[in-house]
């Protein structure tokens, strides 16, 4: 999930909430929406191809 911050940057959040804090985990902050989308694809690839 990508959200735009008030600073104009974009932050990638986990879809699942953190069990301890009950908030979404920050997966990185990026200057552009394209960079955030690229990293989101990399995260999804890693989740299915690790090991």
Helix (H) or strand (E) holding 17: strand 10-17
How many CB atoms are closer than 10 A to CB 12?
A: 20
User: Which pLDDT band holds residue 50 (cuts at 50, 70, 90)?
Assistant: confident
Q: Which of 13, 38, 43 is nearest to 28 (CA)?
A: 13
- Indicate if the pLDDT at residue 1 is higher than 80: yes
Mind listing the pLDDT tens digit for each residue in 3-36? 999 999 999 999 999 999 999 999 999 999 999 9
Supply the DSSP string of 26-49, one letter for each residue. EEEEESSHHHHHHHHHHHHHHHHH
How many CB atoms are closer than 10 A to CB 2?
A: 15
Per-residue pLDDT at 43: 93
- Indicate if the pLDDT at residue 49 is higher than 80: yes
């Amino acid at each position: 999930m990508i959200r735009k911050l008030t600073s104009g940057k974009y932050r990638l959040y986990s879809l699942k909430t953190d069990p301890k804090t009950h908030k979404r985990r920050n997966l990185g902050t990026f200057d552009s929406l394209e960079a955030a989308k690229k990293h989101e694809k990399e995260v999804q690839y890693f989740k299915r191809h690790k090991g």
